């Protein structure tokens, strides 16, 4: 098979040994999180399906929070910073400006994760005053120990610094190449980070101004709707923060391993710009059932969400076209016959292609979620976890694992321990997820709730066209078990790869696009323009809803003194010290 032949080219490790170490460290952290997250996952699947229970139901939220946070914060984002570091260094073809800075942000991310995880695991020990049973959607009124919010803040700062690191590299490169187009991989990483910075405004205010001081006891009430809205301001774009590195891999690596070339570089740029513009002004689609937000704002969020389907539909076209090009290069013919000519024995290819297929289904359930009226049917049911196990759990998670099979040898100069196990692993993931998410979607349609240890209603059952509640539970549990086995196979395969012999010349260059960057209008690379428009759209979408939430519910909740307790003594001191001066009067004015 052509993909098995060595090109004789140097690997990423040969060319950038220092950066390869950082990428390996980030990916390893990501896989540790994946492994631990999977363990919590299977405990909770078997618990809520009532097939096998190791812990009391009172620990369910602790398990669910650990599973959620480890998977969607640690696994995904550590992978993101690793893969984007690789992508930026590789595509700009230059080392990072200051590797100590790089290790600093990586260190902060590790520290933040540890703090948050310690706070969560504290939930298993009721005798100590430490817990964070707040789920990965950690908005009020659920409250965590300050350590949890502190950890998240440190982690977030680490991710922002990672972006700064890549921008520094880009600016240095730009000075030497003033007239060149931004290489596609770097372009994608930078746009992702711009989106991330905008999205972070919401969560930073939520955590720093409200959740953290509230959990520290500075004030005892909170405007729950306000923190929820600020959370979703960030909580929707974060799903694209997970998706965009997967898309980067579909655009820039998948075509090569399909044996062909990317169909269109300009379309890839358009897609990422659309994500930057539209990812944030849609967060209210998670709040269709929140009574405090006027219907009109929900309709605006829905309309924006429907526009946001466009970049993914464009991606479906471009990526499948690139795969078809690859298959035809490999001798494939016919309307669909070319599908057989794809390199199905290559686990990196098969994993990414299956991830894409599942995303088609996940995107479909997303469209249903996004409909204001249909959302009422599925909100807070098991349908929603069904949706996100297809999107983040497969489109993103499986792509990351599959890409690792391709990338890991180039970070280590060693071959993968076993390709057949890798192939079995990605197929097992696909089958496991098909069972689990199908059961979740259908059970959700019948009203089975999400986020509960005891979903069974006494004396309530339903018969669906295919299956009963018991059968769905069984399907869910079998799916979850296959996913756990698949995760163990993945982690073991990568760990055992450390023991394979060192090799030389196993670098894998990426093919050039059929339609390259020079076909893309120059305006696409105008980052300032796009960030400007994105900010305007965010202001348009959020100013009025936030203003009305604050007007009705107060900044710190209805009827609460707007001056937090911690500020009060300070103002009183200023009032006394400054007496009748303007400053003294001002302090007195704020106090009363
Ligand atoms: Fe979502 C809830 C709407 C995409 C994640 N979403 C969630 C939650 C998560 C999540 C975690 O409007 C739950 C949050 C919670 O805990 O409460 N979502 C959408 C829409 C999209 C969408 C419209 N979601 C994602 C992605 C996620 C993600 C991506 C993670 C990575 N979602 C919602 C809504 C809710 C929601 C509501 C709130 C529900 C509620 O009531 O609580 C769209 O972006 C989807 C567009 C995708 C497509 C598919 C295109 C197909 C492609 C495949 C190409 C094929 C290939 C393979 C490459 C239109 C690109 C070919 C293979 C061959 C062999 C040929
Ligand atoms: Cu969303």
pLDDT digits (tens, 9 = 90+) for 269-298: 999 999 999 999 999 999 999 998 999 999
CA distance 120 to 589: 41
Angle between helices 469-496 and 419-445 (to 10 degrees): 150
Mean pLDDT of 295-314: 96
pLDDT for 139 beyond 90: yes
Atom 56 of ligand 1, nearest CA residue: 356
Centroid of ligand 2 to alpha carbon of 369 (angstroms): 9
Q: Is 485 or 572 the better-scoring residue by pLDDT? A: 485
Q: How far apart are CA 316 and CA 250, in angstroms?
A: 10
Element (H, E) at 274: helix 265-278
The per-residue pLDDT for 183 is 97
Active-site residue, 240 included: yes
| Average pLDDT, integer, range 205-222 | 93
Task: Give the predicted TM-score (pTM) of the model.
Answer: 0.94
**How many A from CA of 241 to the centre of ligand 1?**
12
Q: For residue 1, what pLDDT is reported? A: 39
Ligand 1 centroid – CA 314 distance (Å) = 14
The separation between the first and the last C-alpha atoms of the chain, rounded to the nearest angstrom, is: 77
CB 302 within 8 A of CB 368: no
The tally of CA atoms less than 13 A away on the side-chain side of residue 446 is 20
Tokens of 222: 């909170």
Q: What is the dihedral of CA 223, 229, 232, 234, to 10 degrees?
A: -90
Report pLDDT digits (tens) over 457-493: 656 666 665 667 888 899 999 999 999 999 999 999 9
pLDDT (mean) for 347-357: 98
pLDDT reported for residue 543? 94
Helix-strand-coil split of the chain, %, nearest 5? 70, 0, 25
- Residue 558 main-chain phi, psi, to 5 deg: -65, 135
pLDDT for position 2? 41
pLDDT band at 592 (very low <50, low <70, confident <90, very high): low
219 annotated active-site: no
Our answer to whether residue 236 is catalytic in this structure is yes
Among 269, 265, 273, CA closest to 510? 265
2-52 residue pLDDT tens: 445 567 899 999 999 999 999 999 999 999 999 999 999 999 999 999 889
At 418, is the pLDDT very low, low, confident or very high (cuts 50, 70, 90)? very high
- Say which of 269, 389, 414, 441 is annotated catalytic: 389
């Amino acid at each position: 098979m052509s993909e098995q032949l060595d090109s004789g080219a140097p690997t990423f490790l040969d060319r950038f040994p220092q950066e390869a170490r950082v990428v390996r460290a980030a990916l390893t952290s990501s896989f540790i999180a994946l492994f631990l997250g999977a363990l919590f996952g299977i405990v909770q699947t078997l618990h809520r399906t009532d097939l096998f229970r190791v812990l009391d139901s009172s620990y369910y939220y602790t398990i669910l929070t650990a599973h959620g946070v480890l998977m969607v914060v640690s696994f995904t984002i550590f992978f993101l910073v690793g893969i984007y570091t690789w992508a930026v260094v590789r595509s700009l073809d230059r080392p990072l400006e200051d590797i100590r800075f790089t290790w600093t942000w990586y260190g902060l991310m590790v520290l933040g994760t540890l703090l948050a995880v310690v706070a969560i695991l504290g939930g298993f020990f009721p005798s100590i005053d430490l817990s964070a049973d707040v789920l990965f959607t950690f908005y009020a009124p659920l409250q965590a120990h300050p350590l949890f919010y502190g950890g998240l803040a440190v982690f977030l700062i680490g991710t922002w610094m990672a972006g700064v690191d890549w921008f520094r590299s880009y600016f240095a490169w730009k000075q030497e190449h003033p007239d060149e187009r931004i290489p596609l991989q770097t372009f994608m990483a930078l746009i992702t980070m711009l989106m991330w910075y905008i999205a972070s405004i919401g969560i930073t205010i939520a955590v720093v101004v409200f959740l953290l001081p509230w959990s520290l006891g500075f004030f005892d009430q909170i405007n729950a709707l306000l923190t929820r809205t600020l959370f979703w301001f960030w909580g929707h774009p974060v799903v694209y923060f997970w998706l965009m590195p997967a898309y980067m891999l579909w655009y820039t690596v998948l075509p090569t391993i399909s044996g062909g070339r990317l169909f269109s570089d300009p379309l890839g740029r358009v897609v990422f710009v659309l994500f930057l513009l539209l990812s944030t002004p849609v967060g209210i689609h998670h709040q269709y059932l929140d009574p405090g937000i006027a219907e009109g704002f929900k309709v605006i969020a829905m309309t924006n969400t429907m526009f946001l389907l466009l970049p993914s539909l464009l991606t479906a076209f471009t990526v499948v076209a690139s795969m078809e090009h690859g298959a035809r290069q490999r001798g494939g013919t016919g309307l669909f016959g070319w599908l057989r000519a794809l390199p199905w024995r290559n686990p990196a290819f098969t994993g990414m292609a299956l991830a894409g297929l599942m995303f088609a289904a996940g995107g479909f359930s997303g469209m249903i979620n996004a409909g204001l009226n249909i959302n009422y049917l599925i909100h807070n049911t098991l349908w929603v976890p069904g949706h996100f196990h297809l999107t983040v759990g497969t489109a993103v998670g499986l792509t990351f694992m599959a890409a690792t099979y391709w990338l890991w040898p180039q970070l280590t100069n060693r071959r993968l321990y076993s390709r057949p196990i890798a192939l079995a692993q990605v197929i097992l993931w696909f089958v496991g997820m098909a069972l689990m998410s199908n059961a979740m979607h259908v059970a959700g349609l019948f009203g089975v709730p999400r986020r509960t240890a005891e979903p069974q209603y006494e004396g309530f059952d339903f018969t669906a066209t295919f299956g009963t509640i018991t059968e769905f539970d069984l399907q869910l549990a079998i799916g979850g078990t296959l996913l756990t086995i698949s995760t163990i196979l993945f982690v073991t395969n990568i760990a055992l790869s450390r023991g394979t012999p060192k090799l030389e010349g196993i670098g894998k260059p990426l093919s050039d696009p059929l339609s390259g960057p020079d076909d893309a209008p120059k305006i696409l690379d105008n980052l300032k323009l796009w960030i400007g428009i994105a900010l305007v759209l965010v202001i348009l979408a959020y100013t009025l809803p936030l203003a009305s939430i604050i007007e009705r519910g107060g900044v710190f909740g209805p009827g609460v003194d707007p001056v937090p307790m911690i500020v009060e003594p300070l103002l009183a001191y200023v009032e006394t010290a400054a007496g009748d001066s303007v400053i003294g009067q001002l302090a007195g004015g704020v106090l009363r």
